[in-house]
Amino acid sequence: MSDVVDIAQAQNEVLLEMQLAPRLETKLSDDEIEIIALKGRDCVDCGLPIPIQRLRAVPLAIRCIQCQEDWEYMK
C-alpha cells in the first residue's frame, strides 16, 4: 500500500513542478537540468524510468516518450 501512496505523492510533486514552472519564468541552468536527469523519474503511466536523454531534453517530463505519444493521441 505504501508504494501506491509513494507513487501518488511523486506524481503530485511532478505535477506541481509543472504547474509552477511557467509562473516562475526562469530558465533551468544546465546544472539543474543535469541534476534532474541524473536523479531520474518514473513515468506516471507505465512506471518505467524515463530515459536520461528525455529528461535532459525535457526536464519536467512526467511520461516516457511512448506514453507521452499515447497520451497525446488519446487527447
The one-letter amino acid code at 60 reads L
Task: Please determine, for residue 24, whether its predicted confidence score (pLDDT) is greater than 60.
Answer: no
What's the pTM value of the predicted model, to 2 decimals?
0.62
Domain count, the chain: 1
State pLDDT tens for residues 39-71: 999 999 999 999 999 999 988 899 999 999 999
Domain membership of residue 57 as a residue range: 2-74
